[in-house]
Amino acid sequence: MKRSERLVDMTKYLMERPHTLIALPFFAKRYGAAKSSISEDLAILKYTLASNQDGILETVTGAAGGVRYIPFLGKKHAENYLSDLSSRIEDSSRILAGGFVYLSDILGNTQDLRRIGELIATHYAYKDVDAVMTVETKGIALAQAVARYLDVSFVTARKRSKVTEGATVSVNYISSSLSRVSKMELPTRALEKGAKVLIVDDFMKGGGTLTGMEELVKEFKGTIAGVCVLCEADFDKEKLIKNYLSLVKISKIDTTKKLILAEPGNFLSETDFDRF
């Protein structure tokens, strides 16, 4: 292979396997090239990714060493995307009954999901996460996108158990948006005992659903690695949850004037972008 061909194939191989350590001899054998040539190739990739702030290529030294690709976006990319996303969410046609906002078009757009998944994975790239959890149904695609970039599994809590999932663990929680007690369940086989869980959801009004997922994690003797939501409504109720990140904050919904005010949430201020 020519170097240009190696670089293309190597980039594809690494980006398809985020957070996975690949030994240098593997690439040397794959391309029939000397280790010194592979090292030069990787140096080019590392420099290019860092220059564009599109990811981090980590080199691990030693006998068991190698290289791994860490999905990681720069602050400029994040600011531009969240500014654009906030302006799109401000569309008055998104207003739904009960103070909710229509987000299905964003959650159904593969490019939005890719970028959102990368953004959330950036914040948790160097934190210890074993699994991503969400609750049915709209958060499923979002959780899957995040899990893909962290290279971990994702699990879905359900409001009603299914016979195909076997025994379940259930918790009751306060559904703050509906002011009533609700129930969610998770199959006993879905989550390892003691797992470190990142909780992800699409929309937060009062935070009741998120606290329910936190209680489920505790039932599995697990710990909360973090809580992150795509959108939070920050205008009418005190949150039941304190420590969380939001990509977009909706500060006002006026149904009479058909007005939504949205801006980037606390995600940017809480994320470390200085690793390049």
The answer to whether residues 248 and 231 touch, using CB atoms and an 8 Å cutoff, is: yes
Q: Please give the model's pTM, rounded to 2 decimal places.
A: 0.93
**Partners of residue 275 on adjacent β-strands:** none
- The predicted structure's pLDDT at residue 177: 58
| Low-confidence winner among 108-112, 174-178, 210-214, 255-259 (lowest mean pLDDT) | 174-178
Query: Which pLDDT band holds residue 41 (cuts at 50, 70, 90)?
Result: very high
User: Is pLDDT of 220 > 60?
Assistant: yes
Least reliable range by pLDDT among 18-27, 38-47, 56-65: 56-65
Question: Alpha-carbon distance 201 to 246, whole Å?
Answer: 10
Sequence letter at residue 119: L
What stretch(es) of the chain map to CATH 3.40.50.2020?
Answer: 75-270
Whether residue 242 has pLDDT greater than 70? yes
User: What does the block give as tokens for 113?
Assistant: 């999901």
| Segment 132-145 mean pLDDT | 95
Topology, domain 75-270: Rossmann fold (3.40.50)
Q: Is the dihedral of CA 125, 225, 104, 144 positive or negative?
A: positive
Q: Is the pLDDT of residue 6 over 90?
A: yes
Give pLDDT, residue 156: 95
User: Which helix or strand (DSSP H or E) is residue 233 part of?
Assistant: strand 223-233
User: Is residue 236 predicted with pLDDT exceeding 70?
Assistant: no
Q: What is the CATH number of domain 3-70?
A: 1.10.10.10
Taking the C-alpha atoms of residue 231 and residue 75, their distance in angstroms, rounded to an integer, is: 19
Q: Are 216 and 186 spatial neighbours (Cβ–Cβ below 8 Å)?
A: yes
Q: What is the mean pLDDT of the chain?
A: 92
Whether the ω angle into residue 137 lies within 30 degrees of 0, i.e. cis, is yes
**By three-state DSSP, how is residue 227 classified?**
strand
- Spell out the alpha helix ranges (H) of the chain: 3-15, 24-31, 35-52, 75-89, 104-107, 110-123, 140-150, 208-219, 267-270
Q: Is residue 260 helix, strand or coil?
A: strand
pLDDT at 98 over 80: no
Range among 244-253, 254-263, 266-275 rated most confident: 244-253
Calpha distance 213→191 (Å, rounded)? 12
pLDDT for 270 beyond 80: no
Domain with CATH 1.10.10.10 in the chain: 3-70
Compute the average pLDDT of residues 229-242: 85
Q: In what order do the strands lie in the sheet with 153-157?
A: 153-157, 131-135, 196-204, 223-233, 245-254, 259-264
pLDDT at 95 over 60: yes
Q: Is 26 helix (H, G, I), strand (E, B) or coil?
A: helix
Q: What are phi and psi for residue 177, nearest 5 degrees?
A: -70, -25
Q: Tokens standing for 194?
A: 């003691």
pLDDT tens digit sequence for 159-208 = 887 777 889 999 998 876 556 788 999 999 999 999 999 999 999 988 99
Please give the full DSSP string across 35-67, using - where no structure is assigned. HHHHHHHHHHHHHHHHHHTS-EEEEE-STT-EE
